[in-house]
Every structure is written in structure tokens, then in C-alpha cells.
Structure 1
Amino acid sequence: MDEMTIKLVAIDIDDTLLSSTGKILPSTLTSIRAALAQDVKIVLCSGRPLAGIRPFLNELGITGPEQYVIANGGGMIESVTGQVVAKHLINNADYRRLTAFAKARQLPFNVVDPDSEIITADHDIYWLIAVQAWENKAGILVREPDELPADFQIAKGVFVASSETLDNIEADVYREFGEYLYVVRAARQFLEVMNPNAGKGQALQDLAGKLGLQPDEVMAIGDEGNDVAMFKFAGTAVAMGNGTAEAKEHANFVTSSNNDDGIAEAFDKYVLD
């Protein structure tokens, strides 16, 4: 154990908390429940909305108004009971710009509103957007910006396409929006755009501040580029063995993969007495 005790562990969900078959390993369940029994806060951090995170909270036994999630890639900090602690949204004008940009390039695009609804202006819904909606227990609304209220705001926008398509378009998205919005590759097939005050790292810093915790009391575990901002804040940064080269480069420790008890290994090393 380090000199300072870990009091909060922020954990990415996909390919980190979950195995490649989308399950929580028994060793992960045991470790997280042991940490909760030591009064360590376990904060699930995901691009998913709260509705899509809730099944895992239930399985892990994370309950009550004093436990928190970082949802929508950092656009929302909420208690697991649904009380909003902080939200950083994208305004209506920028939502319209993003939608127009996607249409002009025939790029599949959807947004997530603060209530976890998935909305797209694409009448032919890209298959992966439908899968995301199903996984997150969300509906899909097909709406043009003009069909929504003039003050409609979004938690995030998501360009969804093959990894090759996003590789080709990513620089254009940065050029167009990167100066005033937060653009991050959340996974090979997802390029997310958020309020510049959002992002997992900023959200983790804000939540730690609210809870009176120092960075040395925080551990972050993840596998992707959008987890690096958490790594930069947390005193202890753990990359999964299955993680990207970028994630591993910014970690203090590379644990085993999400299929090989990587979470349990990290908890044994840093968290559990």
C-alpha cells in the first residue's frame, strides 16, 4: 500500500469492469464488494448514461445517495439514486452544428440528452447506434434539430462508424470543433464530442473535490484514450492489460487483462487491506 489510503476507485466499464463477453468476473465482484466493505467509494465512469450503468451498480451492490457515477463520458456526475451533482452540456447551436457536420459527410451521428435518451437525425439508423441504445436500455428518437425545443441541450454527441472511417475523419472533427468543444476517441468506433468542462478526468476531479479527497486518495482504472484524463488526475493510474498503448503509457501500473482478473489484481495491490 502507498502512504495514503485509496478512498475512491474510478473504474471504466467497457473492456475494464466487463470481460470481453460483457460480464463482471467473479474475482472483480469479490474485490469490489470487499472494497465497499472497507468504505472505499467505487465510481463507475462510462460513456453510458445512468440507465445503462444501473444494472452493473445493482450487481455490485453499489447503492444509496452517497455513491456516485460519472456518466455520459463525464458530461454528468450523478448519485446512483439519480440526483445530479454536476452537468456540463452542449448548447443548442453547437448541437445543430454537429448534426449538420455529420449530415454533410454522411456520417452516422447520435446525441444523448440529459435524461439518457438517444436522439439521431439519421432516418437510416446505423446498426451500432441501435446496439448502443439496447445496451443502455434507452429509446431512440429520430428527430431533426428543428423538431426539438429551441433550448434543447445535449450531454454528448457521438460519431459512430467503422474504425477506418473515424481514423479518416477524426482530424476534421478536431479542426472543426476542437477549439471550443472536448473531442475524444472513446473507442475504435466511437468519436465523442462534449462540453469542454466535461470528460472523465474533469468529472473525477470535480467529484473528488466535492468529497474532500486528494488525488493520492484516488485510483483510476481504464483501457482507452478517454481514460487518460482520469489517469492524469488520480494518484494511482492502472491500465488494463488489454488496453491501448496510449492508456498504458500514462499508467503507473499495467494489470492483467479484463478476462484475466485484472481488476482483482489491481485491488489486491493498491486497495484492499
Structure 2
Amino acid sequence: MTIKLVAIDIDGTLLNSKHEITPQVYSAIQDAKKAGVHIVIATGRPISGVEKILSDLNLTDRGDYVITFNGGLVQDVGTGQEVVKDLLTYEDYLDIELTARKLKLPMHASTKAGMYTANRNIGKYTVYEAMLVNSPVFYRTPEEMMDKEIIKVMMVDEPHVLDAAIPSLPSSLTERFNVAKSAPFYLEVTPKTANKGLAIKRLAQQLGLTLDQTMAIGDQENDRPMLEVVGAPVVMENGSAELKKIAKYITKSNDESGVAHAIREWVLK
């Protein structure tokens, strides 16, 4: 069946290792959009961290959609209308924050307005994330977070520290939320009802598309939910070996314009 929607992860997928969109990727995305294919950026980043990419790719019209916060927010880029918004409750935040404190992991909570941390000594990967996604970062105590619309929480630290802590996460946390690494130093916690796969399902329904008409391209474990639901799951050559087991197609690496290869070979042909 003809592919009508392509969801594309950013880091390690859309962007090469220099964090650039190659001319080949740009050209393929423009050709797909002209052919009537919905190109949907699907990322763990907040909207502030993807606005420049959307602008660079001319994906800012009414009817252009973006999935942010790992599926916690889906909106029409042109109008700002929210198709999906799944939030963590204040009680959720308190439980996650307490777990991070017990495990001695820096953490921050993400909202549309910015990032909030209860760590007086702000973790270096929180600072890195704030710079990467062009988001302000604020210090707030847990008591000051009651009125915030929290879409996801991230525990962040050196990869070996994070990996050592993950087995100690209580089952009450891992069963209640989606918990997945999006980078070696990022562990993301989102509502059970929020992931890239569920976001694509709901967006496809909104657009009157079947899942057989959808493709997803990704490289990391937080991409698994969308790869598992679409009709055409594509994993980057530089992607996780475990993800490649569920791929219908393996495309070239992000440094070889793998997104362009996937679009031209399996969407536009």
C-alpha cells in the first residue's frame, strides 16, 4: 500500500553526526511533501528544540504535524492546534523526583514553557539538553511544581552511572510509566499513554489513514513504539541491533543520508 505518512526521529536519524540536515535528506523530504506525503518529525525534544528544523525543512504549513516529547504532544505546526497532549500529574512528578533523588540521579521535568529541575547543582546533561533544544531551565523545588503542565521527566547522567542505576528502578515506576533511553545519558519517563507509536496511531486516525499507509524511521529504543505500529518500520544502519530485528527495511546510516534513501526507495518509487 502507498505510504502517506512518514514519521522521522531527529538525532541519529534525520541529522548526521555533525547535527546537520544533508542536501540529499532536504531534497527527498521536499519531494515527498510535494507528492502529498505527510512528513512528521517525531522526537523526544520539546517544540522549542524542533522549530528551526521544521522551518529549515519547510514543514510549517497548516496540515504539517509534529510529534514532540516522545509522543506526549502532537500538534499542527501551522495553527498550533494540539491533536494530542498527555501530561504527568503532580503526584507522578513527585514519585519520579523521589526515585531520582534516591538513586542520586540528576533530573529535570519538561513543559512547553521550559525545563525545571529540583537539583541545586544542575546536572551537566540538563544544561546540555537545555542548549540542544533551545529551552530555558529553571530551578524549582518539588513544592513549586504543582501548577506546571509536565509532559515528561528525564533522569540524566554519565552513561555508566545511568546504566548502573536502571536495574534499581522500582517496578512501581517502570510498570506505571514509559521508561526508555533516548541517548546514552538520557532516561526518559513519560505517561503510559504517551509514546511515538500511540501518537502516530492517533494522528493517522485524525488524517483518515490506515497504519499500513505509515512509515517510521528511527535508531534508538524510544523509537521502538512507533516502529512496532507502522506498516513500514525503517531502522538506520547506525541504529540499535535490537531494533533492526523488527525492521522491514534497514536504510543507510545518518551520515549517508539514510532518511533520503528510505524515502526515495520505499515511498516515492
Same fold judged by TM-score > 0.5?
yes
The answer to which of 68-77 and 172-181 deviates more is: 172-181
- CA displacement at 1:105 relative to structure 2: 2.2
* Residue number in structure 2 paired with 1:199: 195
Instruction: Give every structure 1 segment of 4 or more consecutive aligned residues whose post-TM-superposition deviation is greater than 4 Å.
Output: none
* Structure 2: distance between partners of 1:128 and 1:198: 23
Q: 1:32 aligns with which of 10, 29, 32?
A: 29
Within 5 Å, which residues of 2 pair with 1:181-192? Answer: 181-192=177-188
Alignment-mate amino acid for residue 41 of structure 1: H
Q: Find out whether 1:70 has 2:72 as its counterpart.
A: no
Is contact 1:95–1:153 with CA below 8 Å preserved after alignment? no
SS for the counterpart of 2:193 is: coil
Which sections of structure 1, spanning at least 5 residues, go unmatched? none
2:108 is aligned with 1:110 = yes
**Counterpart-to-counterpart distance in 2, 1:45 and 1:17:** 10
- CA shift for structure 1 position 153: 3.6
What is the aligned length?
A: 268
Q: State the Cα distance separating 1:80 from its structure 2 match.
A: 1.1
Matched residues in 2 for 1:116 and 1:190: separation? 20
Partner in structure 2 of residue 84 of structure 1: 82
Aligned counterparts of 2:230 and 2:113: Cα–Cα separation in 1: 27
Which of 167, 181, 201 aligns to 2:163? It is 167
Q: Structure 1 residues 38-47 or 78-87, which shifts more? A: 78-87
Offset, 1:116: 4.1
Q: CA deviation digits over 1:187-219, x for unaligned, max 9?
A: 211111111000111111111111111111101
Which residue matches 1:147? 144
Residue matched to 1:95? 93
The residue number in structure 2 matching 1:239 is 235
| Aligned-residue offset at 1:33 | 0.4
Q: Deviations over 1:147-170 (max 9, x none)?
A: 23x343410010111111121121
Answer whether contact 1:49 1:72 (CA < 8 A) is retained.
Answer: yes
- What is the alpha-carbon distance in structure 1 between the residues aligned to residue 101 and residue 227 of structure 2? 34
- Segments of structure 2 that go 5 or more residues without pairing to the other structure are none
Helix, strand or coil: the match of 2:18?
coil
The structural deviation recorded for 1:130 is 0.8
CA–CA distance in structure 2, aligned partners of residues 105 and 33 of structure 1: 46
Deviation sequence 1:34-85 (CA, Å, 0-9, x none) = 0011011000000101111111111111122211111001111111132211
State the identity as a percent. 37
Structure 1 match to 2:14? 17
Indicate whether 1:178 and 2:180 are aligned.
no
Deviations 1:110-168 (A, max 9, x none): 1101x2411000111111111111121110010011123x3434100101111111211
What residue identity is the alignment partner of 1:109? M
Greater displacement, 163-172 / 91-100:
163-172
Letter in 2 for 1:21: K
What is aligned with 1:129? 126
* Root-mean-square deviation over aligned CA pairs: 1.2
Compare 35-44 and 150-159 and name the one that shifted more: 150-159
- State yes or no: 1:253 paired with 2:228: no
| Alignment match, 1:44 | 41
Partner of 2:135: 138
Counterpart mapping for 1:215-234 below 5 A: 215-234=211-230
Work out the CA distance in 1 between the residues paired with 2:61 and 2:263.
Answer: 22
Q: Distance in 2 between matches of 1:272 and 1:246?
A: 28
- 2:179 is matched by which residue type in structure 1? V
